[in-house]
Structure 1
Amino acid sequence: MKNIFKRQLFLVLILVLFTNSIAFAGKIGIEDGVSAYLLGDFEDGRIVEEYNIDTPLAIASITKLMTYTIVMDEIRNGNISMDDIITIDKEVEEVNGSTFELKEGEKFSVETLLESTLIVSANDSCVALAKHISGDVPSFVNKMNQKAEEIGLEHTRYLNPNGLPEKNGQNTMTVRDIFKLSRYIIKEYPEILEITKKDKIDIEDGIRDEEFVNENTNPLLKEMNGVDGLKTGFTGEAGYCLVFTTKVKGQAKSEDFRLIGIVMGTKSEESRKNISKYLLEYGISNYKKREVLSKNIPVDIIHIPNANRLEVEVFPKENIRLLEKNNDNILQKIVIDNDIQLPLKKGDTIGKTILYSENSEKVLKEVELILGKNVKEANFITKTFRNLKGFFKYIGINFFKI
């Protein structure tokens, strides 16, 4: 009876430990201070740390990343230029919140107004740019929502170009969508980082009085070397938010990589700074990037029945670089197609390799496998000799080598 009780107690302890390991899996200790967070690899889009990333949330001035995108699209398409001069009207002057303190009758270039949206988070500059491009704000917002659909932002809704609360709600996105948009912008318009890494906006003397705050709103610029973006946000509903990015220098055999981090819904500016810094430091300390597969190195040698070659090397279709967490390994499972029809050419797809984490068993990436050489059906003589070889091997004689 005593032994049975001890065994039951042991099983209960195991169950508790197992349950706790599941409950805390993937957490890094900042969940109570945010509404959501994400840490991901810019290059391949893999999300390595996450919390509540698929719930639509108010995004406040993170909206301005899409406003920037629309402006840059219009410039790329030749509809406007950075040198265009915009005359400020009464509607723009009356915009509140964080502003560039624009006054009716002032004149600014598209370039200056665009920089002010990203550096000092100018709500009024967004309206000025929207009207310059589309004639009115609603038409510009339509462009924003169309662009969101175009690039696959599935849970995004824009009501205005700056993120201010409206009577019928606020601009909303999931953190996953914010990550997609951030990657899209850096890929399509990498020059954004030349703006967002500035510690302040450059304006001519006398344009604004000495009390005007022209410093970049991103708190990590002064906290961590290498941070060069991207955008802050705040409203009462959204809380304090930050999208940040930095290039991480590889150590030893690891390679350089860029991280994108997102923190949403902190309770104060100070907690936004501290939590964002913690998340970024966590990523830098716990992840390294290395080449997992090379398209020049075979991953397997396979046997294709009735082929002219007994053994054929298979290669990954592309070079694969992945972030790998410390104390974890990236493993692979090779899957070769069942229905292989000869002949096959060098470069034909023959299967795939599935890369996964040893610790979590989470699939990281699937990569096509291709043949390294042409393969055709063996001729009659080769097949005959192989069959004879198989027969003699079966009866214990081995003198054929075909």
Structure 2
Amino acid sequence: MALLLFLSAAPREAGAFAPQVTADAAVLLDARTGTVLYGRTPYERRPPASTTKILTALVALEGGRLSDVVTVSPYASWTEGSSLYLRTGERLTLEELLWGALLESGNDACVAIAEHLAGSEEGFARLQNKKAWAIGAWDTHFVNPHGLPAPDHYTTAYDLATIARYALRNSKFQEIVRAREKVVSGPSGGRSFFSTNRLLWSYSGADGVKTGTTAEAGQCLVASATRGGRQLVAVVLHSDDRWSDAAALLDFGYTESRLLQPGKAGETVTVPLKNGLTPAVTARLAQDLYVVVPWQKVGRVEKSLEVQALKAPVERGSKVGEVVIRVEGETVTRADLIATQAVAARNPATVFLWRLYRPLLARLWGLHLL
């Protein structure tokens, strides 16, 4: 659940300490929770240029095999714009093409990937859009795999951040976008690729993601950085200085907010129980609980249990309540409590059996049974 403590009803520019950015559209997300920390027209549809290739790579990683050998078609080799200068008939692995697409922004590599996986750019665009919508990027519609200007090829700053956040969960994607350079050796010989993302050299903790530039889209950048185990994703579109803009957003995130973990999956609590053979049931937290708050509110995070009057019998694995996290009284996230044991209802028959077998169970399981 994304927490909007920084931006109330809808993302807007933050207050007095808002980062100074030149981009027409920008957004900053916490990668773990999806919390929006800053937004400037984050839902405005805009041309994405080569940041399109984030989704291209994601579709390829999930739908193809890295070891697949791809033969470059004449159509792919003639693709305009930034290029790996692939030759018609040249053979490369899908992994080589992904390195070339993400590091050097090769449009020809993207077309080769699209044709290999879907037979055409049009078919591949359908896969891109299906994936985008599945992960919540609902204002995204692509018609090609590289981002060259085209009617109906658009996304938003928020959607790009959402796509990048999802893609960064893929270990191969992470490996590629954090690399400054890469030497690959495939069926047609060796190649060297160098990242277009200058932030990898200039910003401490930078680990991705992708640049993009066209006359229509302007300077674009999807950037990520990890510090102290916390990853942020920044997006700037149509920027006058994408490097400074992205750095300012990331600095703002690390300076003005904190990621807290008030609950861990598997953590156990005791929940009172009525009419059971035991007066309580042990329950575990079903998932990790994370919350992002302004640094000034770190001490105002409250954790409580919400349990309705629980009555036996209780089945193991059933939901018996929730752990609720609030900040200044506002609920920001919650997780289920799951029973770790079955407890029968109290009646003459179950009480008799319980008393009869309790010493044996205690010896077998080393339990202190009431």
Please report the TM-score for the alignment, with normalisation by the length of structure 2. 0.76
Q: Check the 8 A contact 2:139/2:159 in 1, yes or no.
A: yes
Q: Over residues 264-292 of structure 1, what are the superposed CA-to-partner deviations in whole Å (9 max), with x where a residue is unaligned?
A: 2312xxx2101111221222334444431
Change (3 A) 1:348 1:262: same
Which letter does structure 2 place at the counterpart of 1:202? V
2-side partners of 1:23 and 1:180: how far apart? 17
Aligned partner (choices 48, 66, 71) of residue 59 of structure 1: 48
Change (3 A) 1:297 1:229: closer
Partner of 1:177: 159
Change (3 A) 1:334 1:102: same
Partner of 2:94: 110
1-side partners of 2:237 and 2:95: how far apart? 29
Structure 1 residue 104 displacement after superposition: 4.2
Aligned partner (choices 78, 91, 97) of residue 81 of structure 2: 97
| Backbone CA RMSD of aligned residues | 3.6
2-side partners of 1:262 and 1:244: how far apart? 6
Kindly indicate which of the two structures has a greater share of residues assigned to strand: 2
Aligned partner (choices 160, 175, 179) of residue 194 of structure 1: 175
Q: Percent identity?
A: 25
SS in 2 for 1:34: coil
Change (3 A) 1:199 1:312: closer
Partner of 1:332: 303
2-side partners of 1:27 and 1:234: how far apart? 31
Q: Does 1:216 align with 2:216?
A: no
Q: Check the 8 A contact 1:88/1:107 in 2, yes or no.
A: no
Alignment of 1:244-255 (within 5 A): 244-249=223-228
Q: Check the 8 A contact 1:63/1:161 in 2, yes or no.
A: yes
Structure 1 unaligned residues grouped into runs of 5+: 1-21, 208-212, 250-255, 381-402
Partner of 1:45: 34
- Between 1 and 2, higher relative CO (CA 8 Å, sep ≥ 6) is seen in 2
Partner of 2:351: none
Which letter does structure 1 place at the counterpart of 2:167? I
Q: Check the 8 A contact 2:70/2:116 in 1, yes or no.
A: no
Which letter does structure 1 place at the counterpart of 2:164? S
Aligned partner (choices 72, 86, 93) of residue 87 of structure 1: 72
Alignment of 1:17-28 (within 5 A): 25=14, 28=17
Alignment of 1:9-20 (within 5 A): none
Aligned partner (choices 190, 215, 233) of residue 260 of structure 1: 233
Change (3 A) 1:263 1:378: same
Q: Does 1:240 align with 2:224?
A: no
* Equivalent residues, number: 335
Q: Check the 8 A contact 1:61/1:164 in 2, yes or no.
A: yes
Q: Over residues 75-111 of structure 1, what are the superposed CA-to-partner deviations in whole Å (9 max), with x where a residue is unaligned?
A: 24xxxx535142341x334322222233445554433
Partner of 1:151: 135
Q: Over residues 271-316 of structure 1, what are the superposed CA-to-partner deviations in whole Å (9 max), with x where a residue is unaligned?
A: 21011112212223344444311456556x6655555555666653
Q: Check the 8 A contact 2:76/2:108 in 1, yes or no.
A: yes
SS in 2 for 1:369: strand
Partner of 1:210: none
Change (3 A) 1:370 1:193: closer
Q: Check the 8 A contact 1:315/1:370 in 2, yes or no.
A: yes
2-side partners of 1:246 and 1:298: how far apart? 33
Larger C-alpha radius of gyration, 1 or 2? Answer: 1
Which letter does structure 2 place at the counterpart of 1:182? A
SS in 2 for 1:328: helix
1-side partners of 2:63 and 2:32: how far apart? 26
Change (3 A) 1:349 1:203: closer
Aligned partner (choices 365, 374, 389) of residue 333 of structure 2: 365
Partner of 1:356: 326
Structure 2 unaligned residues grouped into runs of 5+: 1-10, 349-370
Which letter does structure 1 place at the counterpart of 2:307? I
2-side partners of 1:88 and 1:74: how far apart? 20
Partner of 2:209: 230
Change (3 A) 1:355 1:52: farther
Alignment of 1:285-300 (within 5 A): 285-294=255-264
SS in 2 for 1:195: helix
Q: Does 1:132 align with 2:116?
A: yes
Partner of 1:317: 286
Q: Over residues 5-40 of structure 1, what are the superposed CA-to-partner deviations in whole Å (9 max), with x where a residue is unaligned?
A: xxxxxxxxxxxxxxxxx9975675236622333333
Structure 1 residue 199 displacement after superposition: 1.9
Moved more, 346-355 or 26-35: 26-35
Q: Over residues 100-136 of structure 1, what are the superposed CA-to-partner deviations in whole Å (9 max), with x where a residue is unaligned?
A: 2334455544333221110111112212222233332
Q: Check the 8 A contact 1:40/1:46 in 2, yes or no.
A: yes
